[in-house]
Structure 1
Amino acid sequence: MSNNIKRKITVFKQNGMKLRYVISLLVLIVILLTTFVNWYSSNLLFQETLAEKYLNKNYEYAQKMSLDTSVLIDDMRISLLNLAKTIGTENFTQEDMDKWIRANSSYFNSIFSADDMGVVQMMSPLDAGKSIMIGMEIEDDMMKQFLKEKKPIVSNPYISQAGNYLILISHPIFDETGTYKGLVAGTVYIHGDNSLMRLLAKHDLLDDSSSFVVDQNGMIIFHKDPSKVNTQLDNQVILNKLTNKKGGSIQSSDNAGNDYFTGYAYMPNTGWGIVSQTPVTIMNQPLKELSIKMIVNSLPLLIILLVLTVLVANRIASPLTRLAEFSRQSITKGNTHETTNKIHIKSKITEVKQLYYDIQEHLQILTDQNQKDGLTGLANRRTFDSQIKEWVDHQIPFSLIMLDIDRFKKVNDTYGHLVGDDVLKFLAKLLQESCRTNDRCFRYGGEEFIILLKNIDANQAYDIAERLRIKIEQTVSPTGEPINISLGITSFKENDIHPTPIIERADTALYHSKETGRNKTTVYEQIKSLK
């Protein structure tokens, strides 16, 4: 054989890349991409979970503060109501006033009564106001407003004639004939020792979260940072929602560009707003810990997979290596006819094709994972959207059952989210056991599930749904007692050209079940007759 051919074979051998390395590299890339996708998906899901957690926590916290504060304010107003009745109908003396303030000193820092001209008649303690005394007319704008309106009022914080920053709670005084005689008012010092300030201080949060109270004009009444008291709320979005008398939660930013998970609640009896917020940066540390944990947990498995990959790649490439060596030797020795006679050895390359199919199968597994709910193992929302669209496009008759767990939030609040997850898995298992082979079960989101029943009408679907509802009602759940579900049913109609109307009908039926008592099944087409 010529030296030129030998040189070409040598160059080809030196420049070529061995198949085992190609396979190893390919599998390594797949593993790394899979790891990255899983990390990214987990990170994103964890972010969403944390965000929802902090939004719900702050909203619930704001609601609790609002309720507790409202109850206290109402108690204080009732105390003033009773005092006003006593002053208006009985012979009430300064000594009686002193006794009353001693009995209600936890509510008010001071108390006074004034006639219909604003002249102080009684006050206790007598040294409460440095520039106010019995017989003096109070001329500040707030007192004029109280005297003019002649009704119970809780003021916004203001600086009184005596120079104190306070809230004034008043009640009009009428005599036995109903004649207006003036008012009685209790003072609550913003920086003083009283029940309201102690209640708000007691509610302070333990982490980086903060809570505060704003009045109707957006001025901060209470804040754990005293320097922020009597300053304007710098979050216009929250202020607008409180102005509209709304409560809820939202991720928002202040004027300095700081992002917060914010919960807010409106107090109807005062017009104040309770705000609880957590900086978004609080998620940084948990996300960092999650990433480190995933790396640490994945590294041993990754090493094992790499070792197995090398072994499998060697096993796959060995026949091809032998074939290449045989061909080279055949050419260099001039016995090419032997290569022709044994060319069937190349059929071993089908192992490369098998590897390709295995990779395809592996990618299909990843696809299946994306189509299934990670908690319950049921098909997820994405798979549902694809399945129902296919059936609608092909005009396949079917019925849809939409269901969710009654008062599932109470389950989470009472037993914790881990038990809540077990309840979801418990319900998913019962759904799978109750469905036929051709039926499809999906986790639609949260505690909502959907069953697609192929070639089943609404009446048949109702019977199936009722059997399922009764079975669940009679089966002990992970909470230690049965749970209840509400269900809504509808069926595919010939004029349905898109899944959305079908889903909306089922959702309406489910809502009707919820609104009419829960733990029941409603067929959409029967709602009008039920009404």
Structure 2
Amino acid sequence: MSLLRKKKQPIWKQISLTSLLIGLVSLSVLITLTILLVASYQSNKKTLIDTTLTLNYTSAIKMSQTIDSLFKSMRSSLHYSASVLSNMNSMNTDEIYSNLELIRHSSNQFNSIVVVDETGIVRNMSPKSVGTVGQYIRTEEAKTALTLKKPYLSKPYITTKTKRLIVFMSEPIYDKEGRYRGYIGGTIYLQEKNILSMIFGNNPTDKIGSYFYIVGSNGHVLYHHDKNRLGKNISANQVVRKLMQGQSGHEQMVNLQGKALLAGYVKVPENGWGVIVASPISVVYEQLNDYIKTVLFYTLPPFILLMLIVIGLARGLARPFVTLADFMTKIGKEKVELPKGKRHWNREADLLTEAVRYAVADIKKQTEQLTLDAMTDPLTGLTNRRALQAIMHRWIEEQISFSIIIMDIDKFKSINDTFGHQAGDEVLKHFAKIITSCVRPGDVCCRFGGEEFISLISYASIEEAHLVAERIRLMLEKSVNPIGQTITVSQGIAHYSSHSDSAEELIHLADQALYKAKESGRNQTVIAEFAEELSH
């Protein structure tokens, strides 16, 4: 009877020790791997989304500042021209035309320039091909500019004669006695080559899947890489609505085509336009998928090796059937030891646990290496832009005083054009070595983008940072370099918190100082101006 009972025992109780160990270890490793992958995926997803939103918002701010400066310059140009034409009644047609041609060709800010007298007659125009000289103005925008008698910027509209989509800016003309004599106006042809396409036509955001566009105060598209979108009313877009309300910021959004985007948007103070920099959220998921594939690529070999070890150990434990049966019946009831000369199965479990720990440690190591790679510039070995921003924010949170030096190799494009991009890369690596040799071990050296580098000098005053910057500049100028010709660098310096307590503002101020160094002849170091100096 006892034999019959044994034969009728459930099959699951007769699972071999080999299968049990392989199954348990495999399940443990798979669960651990899954948890790590899911946690890593979610963490990297949040980081990538936040970083993309911040970068897009920063790009939008810079573009907004560029447009703001541009329109101030355009307004200033028209204002000056209006003062020159204050006595246009005593000027002949050729003199007026010469002035208009000079304005149009000296800056290329306007596609066409027109002078209208107080009666609404077009006195002159550049270029002449427009063919409206001597005619009365027809469009409502031109009539509005004439009636207002003050600076005016139109919304996008289509001209009556040439059927062009344009934006029109005007400045009133008053004679020396203060009498209104008409206005001078400049136009931007939105669907043709214009100042906006010249400045933003080769924007680098296109290379990473991002794009940008500019909208007017009424929600119409003024600039877009797709010319078919120009002039379209997209005021129903949630971000455009916020821009029309005067708001700036960054957020996840869905555009009018139903596409999910990560957008940064900023209002332009001078003209009420809005700049939107957007990245498809699918780009983030593509990067995450590539990351998971890389982790699996590095994880599967040790996992396979682990399984081979487990199988070998399990087979070593599968001794004579009676011994194994007796061993299995005692598990969970008492402390079990294998007979002498046999390997204790608890000891084997310990070995397997250590193997699992090794696999987990290897996964973490690969994850940490991937994180390090994501924070390092592959060409120079310096930290990259993402790491720099994280360090700056951490130092600011910890109230660590530091100076920032922005460096830009002078005429680097000429080096690439003359000696080739490979030589240009060698110059970048050469400069990176010079920077690291001139700073302390605790300072941060970063390749910010292209030929632009940044150093964060901790616990350094402006004067100390200036000495470091000059040491870098002179060493580069005097060093033997890959192209055999003198290479120089221009530098800008700002200090936390003397100049600002904002990381973005510090970079902006140092960047302004850098541009001042460039404009002053290059190969020099300029310290950013303080707020009090700027106010004066």
Secondary structure of the 1:116 match is coil
- Equivalences for 1:314-329 in 2 at 5 Å? 314=315, 322=323, 324=325
Q: Which residue, 121, 124, 129 being the options, matches 1:122?
A: 124
Contact 1:85-1:174 within 8 A present in 2 as well: yes
Aligned to 1:298: 299
Q: Which residue, 394, 397, 402 being the options, matches 1:447?
A: 394
Contact 2:267-2:275 within 8 A present in 1 as well: yes
Q: What root-mean-square deviation, in Å, do the aligned CA atoms of Structure 1 and Structure 2 show?
A: 4.6
Q: CA deviation at 1:366?
A: 11
Contact 2:109-2:195 within 8 A present in 1 as well: yes
Distance 2:335 2:247 in 1: 77
Contact 1:84-1:183 within 8 A present in 2 as well: yes
- Cα distance 1:202–1:9, how it changes in 2: closer, same or farther (>3 A)? closer
- Cα distance 1:180–1:362, how it changes in 2: closer, same or farther (>3 A)? farther
Contact 1:167-1:188 within 8 A present in 2 as well: yes
Q: CA deviation at 1:417?
A: 4.8
Distance 2:388 2:173 in 1: 60
Q: What CA deviation, in whole Å up to 9, does each residue of 1:352-393 have, x standing for no partner?
A: 66778899999999999999xx869xxxxxxxxxxxxxxxxx
Aligned to 1:150: 149
Aligned to 1:52: 50
Contact 1:323-1:345 within 8 A present in 2 as well: no
- Equivalences for 1:474-493 in 2 at 5 Å? 476-479=442-445, 482-484=457-459
32-41 or 101-110, which deviates more: 101-110
Aligned to 2:217: 216
Secondary structure of the 1:202 match is coil
Secondary structure of the 2:119 match is coil
Q: Which runs of 5+ in 2 are unaligned?
A: 370-374, 402-438, 446-454, 461-495, 503-536
Secondary structure of the 2:207 match is coil
Q: CA deviation at 1:474?
A: 7.9
Distance 1:312 1:100 in 2: 93
- Cα distance 1:46–1:326, how it changes in 2: closer, same or farther (>3 A)? closer
Aligned to 1:101: 100
217-226 or 36-45, which deviates more: 36-45
Which of structures 1 and 2 has the bigger CA Rg?
1
- Equivalences for 1:157-168 in 2 at 5 Å? 157-162=156-161, 163-168=163-168
Contact 2:318-2:324 within 8 A present in 1 as well: no
Secondary structure of the 2:309 match is helix
94-103 or 281-290, which deviates more: 281-290
Aligned to 1:32: 30
Contact 1:191-1:197 within 8 A present in 2 as well: no
357-366 or 15-24, which deviates more: 357-366
- Cα distance 1:225–1:484, how it changes in 2: closer, same or farther (>3 A)? same
Secondary structure of the 2:247 match is coil
Q: CA deviation at 1:70?
A: 2.5
- Cα distance 1:363–1:248, how it changes in 2: closer, same or farther (>3 A)? farther
Q: CA deviation at 1:240?
A: 2.0
Aligned to 2:249: 248
Q: CA deviation at 1:264?
A: 1.6
Distance 2:355 2:248 in 1: 48
Aligned to 1:18: 16
- Cα distance 1:45–1:235, how it changes in 2: closer, same or farther (>3 A)? farther
Q: Which residue, 93, 99, 113 being the options, matches 1:111?
A: 113
Contact 1:419-1:478 within 8 A present in 2 as well: no
Q: CA deviation at 1:244?
A: 2.5
- Cα distance 1:421–1:179, how it changes in 2: closer, same or farther (>3 A)? closer
- Equivalences for 1:233-382 in 2 at 5 Å? 233=234, 236-314=237-315, 322=323, 324=325, 346-348=336-338
Contact 1:235-1:254 within 8 A present in 2 as well: no
Aligned to 1:386: none
Distance 1:20 1:321 in 2: 15
Q: CA deviation at 1:179?
A: 2.4
Q: CA deviation at 1:305?
A: 1.3
Aligned to 1:391: none
Q: Which residue, 5, 19, 28 being the options, matches 2:2?
A: 5
Distance 1:416 1:244 in 2: 42
Secondary structure of the 1:447 match is helix
Aligned to 1:406: none
2:118 corresponds to 1:171: no
Contact 2:68-2:268 within 8 A present in 1 as well: yes
Q: What amino acid does structure 2 have at the position aligned with 1:100?
A: N
Contact 2:25-2:356 within 8 A present in 1 as well: no
Contact 1:110-1:124 within 8 A present in 2 as well: yes
Secondary structure of the 1:476 match is coil
Secondary structure of the 2:270 match is coil
Q: What amino acid does structure 1 have at the position aligned with 2:174?
A: F
Distance 1:71 1:199 in 2: 12
Distance 2:148 2:189 in 1: 23
- Cα distance 1:266–1:419, how it changes in 2: closer, same or farther (>3 A)? closer
Secondary structure of the 2:128 match is coil
Q: CA deviation at 1:86?
A: 0.9
TM-score (norm 2): 0.62
- Cα distance 1:360–1:148, how it changes in 2: closer, same or farther (>3 A)? farther
Q: What CA deviation, in whole Å up to 9, does each residue of 1:188-220 have, x standing for no partner?
A: 222234333422423372344322111011111
Q: CA deviation at 1:300?
A: 0.9
Q: What amino acid does structure 2 have at the position aligned with 1:141?
A: E
- Cα distance 1:366–1:102, how it changes in 2: closer, same or farther (>3 A)? same
- Cα distance 1:123–1:478, how it changes in 2: closer, same or farther (>3 A)? closer
Instruction: State how many pairs are aligned.
Output: 401
